[in-house]
Amino acid sequence: MDLPRGTRLLAEGRWALVLALLGDRGDEELTWWAEALRGVDGAPRLLAVVDRPSMALVLRAEKLGVLDLLPQPLRREDFLRALLRLRSAAGEIPIPLPDVTPHGAGPYALVGQSPAMVDVYKLIARVAGSTATVLIQGESGTGKEVVARAIHLNGSVASGPFVAVNCAAIPENLLESELFGHEKGSFTGAIARRVGRFEQASGGTLFLDEIADMGMALQAKILRAVQEREIERVGGTDPIPVHVRLIAATNRDLREAITQGRMREDLYYRLAVVIVQLPRLTERGDDLLLLTAYFARQFAERSGKRIDAISDRAFEALRNRPWVGNVRELRNVIERAVIVATDATLRLEHLPEELRTDEAGLPGRSPSGLATLADAEARHIARVLAHVGGQIGAAAEILGIHRNTLTRKIREYGL
Amino acid sequence: MNAGAKRSLPPLRVEQALGLLPDIEVLAPLRALLLAASRPDERDQWSSLGPYLTVGKREVQPAELRNRMSQALGQVQTHVGALYAACIEALECQERADGVGAVAALGRAARLEEEVGRLAQAKAWYEVALVLAERLPDRRPEVELLRALGGVCHTLSRYAEGARYCQRGLALAEAEFDQVGAIAACEGLGLLALAQGEWAGAQAWYQRGLRLAESGGDAGRVGQLNYRLGELLRSRNDLTAAAEYLGRARERFEAADDAAGVARTLDVQGQVDARLGRRAAALGAFREALAWRRRAPPREAPLEVAIRLHLATLAVDSERYLEAEEELRRAEQVAIARNLGLQLIEIYTLMGALRGRQGEDTGFVFFEQAIELCRLYAVSPSTEAHVYHEYGVFRGRLGSREEARAYLEKAGGIFESLGQVAELEQVQAELQRMSA
């Protein structure tokens, strides 16, 4: 059966396994299949068969979460072993997800009990009651907007609006009109009069996210608005009074930006009356399980599923992740996992490929947290050996190296 | 400035880089290179900017542009060289009274311009070639040029002018018993009628072309006209009839080993299934279309983007927003790498609509980016009007009625001036809904 017909059949039924015979461009075809199977009903696993499985191809298959990559001619016992592996995925040990009581509700809830987060809660409680301007600092995805909303909801202007502006997302030439509004026809594209975010936030809180991405000229206007409590629309002539609580956030070092001449010092001091520093996810210890539970339940409910556990291997993979994108990245990973999960447990196979290759059990990681080439080689050799039932000759053939070299590597890696 | 300080500086973004380039034609290849060489800043991926990343917010590295400049200049030189060579060849042909050769050389130059998306320039070349072709005893080159001019006018939204060219081409082809030319003219007239909302006219033209193709036993053209009819009937919501035509188109394309044709047909079939609420079947058709697209030549990259856009639309309609976004981001990668400006505009328009469905008003940045790209790529007014239409719907959905109305009225005005009746009716219905 050819590729197009194969994909057609995929849509017509519910499959547990897809057996793909790869051609000359094995790497490309593997990627294509991995993509084609994403989101398909029943979440079928891919078993690929290729003439000569190179080491690079086996590694690629592993990275893509392929169940197995078998050499041609396909032997019955290899096929049966692969099927057993398919069943053994269910053998991962489920860890029950704890009940979580978030502070707040919906997408802006604060979840966590780690000491670092408890300090943040205390600071929120202290500043919320005042009208002081707050600067929230933290890496991407640590929850700066969530904290800003918590300050707003627990403060004196809670009944007013909370208006968030993502300064980095908005094109530079439109940011001023987005913040201050514009009169119709004041510039090309000013198709109608627009009320700016400062006005929209009057009587409430204006949250300026990624404030460091703002140009100096606009910074001066922000400073004026904060000090004089009035703004002017672009193309307008009359000052408009505004009463807003300002909360700003950044993932950059604003002090460094001041020394580089990209941030006004007077605006910095105006914004940084109180500084809330948010911890990285990796600094939040057991919050990882709480957050996983919270997101898993949230997304399960949204997609009409029930998720009440995560497998030990999947959680280990989460624990080993450096989480560059912090909570936002975790949320994303769990959302995807819930979508592809077929029962009440999130398993390793439900996680994205980059997490599966980061899985626990690798010998000695580099300081960066990434696996070294030797780690990958050791793991791959172990896999091939397991695949051929420990036969060194057969393993050497698949790996494309001499059996003496293989024997030496087995000794070297203690396999 | 030391290296450490440079590393900590914010990235230079495409929107800033484009702001430095004056809007002059000679810089068009550099603008295209700038977009193709840009990449998302890794730091942005997980920041709050991540969900709103557009090509304008991607990072530009001047050093990389410098490295790739010679490659871009090489392409420009090759293109201009080919145009000059075609021109000189036409002159040489004229010198030895070889009119056919001169027309062929000028036509080749026109096609080269068309291939790189310089449609106004292509039209100018075709028109010069046509003047020469009118003097030839063999009228087939003239028929071919009239068809090509009809096609270029269609893409430029100059529908009435395009129809005139195709009409002339058809009359000439019939007089000369040029069946291939007549079929192509019928297809062109159908497309132009469709663009102006003349459904019955379009269907009649396609059917006439189909009859001619069937009588000539040309499997490829029979497939193509069945496909056109299927596409037309899908847009008219006559889904059963559309599926029948599409089935026949697929058979013919497969017989002619036309992978791109099969992919296009399956893409429309997927849209038919989606309209019928058969999500799994639609998903299957789109995925199979992508599989066929892999067999088609690389120039069919826009087809891949189109299929992915339909996959994303399917996901949006079934409220699978994450899948929709992933598909759109994949399409975006292809469109940026291949400099597919028109498709990039469609991608951002749908991305904006997706954010609107999610109630995220910052989604307006996608529409603004799409409008900016309309200007950058000098696309047809029809494309721009579609962006304004969706922008209006977005603003309306998020409660900005005054702006919504302004954008819808702007879209309606453009559609009206182009004679795009169906689109105009949709805009008017939207405006009425807002007033109710």
Mean pLDDT by 10 residues, chain B (436 residues): 53 89 87 89 82 92 91 93 97 95 97 92 97 94 96 94 96 93 96 92 96 90 96 93 96 92 96 93 92 87 95 93 92 92 96 95 95 89 95 94 94 91 92 88
Q: Which two tokens stand for residue B279?
A: 């999500």
Of B48, B53, B368, the CB nearest to A171: B368
**pLDDT value, residue B202:** 96
Of B46, B403, B407, the CB nearest to A324: B46
Cα gap A125→A91, rounded to integer Å? 45
**pLDDT value, residue B151:** 96
In this structure, which amino acid lies at residue B87?
C
What digits encode the pLDDT tens for the residues A113-154? Answer: 899 999 999 999 999 988 899 999 999 999 999 999 999 998
Are A10 and B280 a contacting pair at CB < 8 A? Answer: no
**pLDDT value, residue A89:** 61
Q: Closest Cα of chain B to A77: distance in Å?
A: 31
Dihedral sign of CA atoms A391, A395, A401, A405 in order: negative
CB contacts of B52 in chain A (<8 Å) are: 166, 169
Phi-psi group of A375: left, alpha or beta (phi > 0 → left; psi -120 to 50 → alpha; rest → beta):
alpha
Are B50 and A256 a contacting pair at CB < 8 A? Answer: no
**pLDDT value, residue B303:** 95
**pLDDT value, residue B152:** 96
Q: Closest Cα of chain B to A209: distance in Å?
A: 8
| Residue ranges, chain A, pLDDT below 50 | 359-370
Are B47 and A32 a contacting pair at CB < 8 A? Answer: no
**pLDDT value, residue B11:** 77
Of A10, A144, A145, the CB nearest to B287: A10
CB contacts of B5 in chain A (<8 Å) are: 260
Predicted TM-score (pTM) of this structure: 0.81
**pLDDT value, residue A61:** 80
**pLDDT value, residue A1:** 59
Are B362 and A8 a contacting pair at CB < 8 A? Answer: no
Task: Report whether the peptide linkage leading into residue A73 is cis, meaning its omega lies within 30 degrees of zero.
Answer: yes
ipTM value for the complex? 0.78
Cα gap B42→B61, rounded to integer Å? 13
**pLDDT value, residue B148:** 97
Q: Closest Cα of chain B to A3: distance in Å?
A: 6
Size of interface A-B (CB pairs under 8 A): 121
Contact partners, residue B169, CB within 8 Å, separation at least 6: B142, B143, B146, B147, B150, B181, B184, B185, B188
What digits encode the pLDDT tens for the residues A288-338? Answer: 999 999 999 999 998 888 999 998 889 989 998 989 899 999 999 999 899
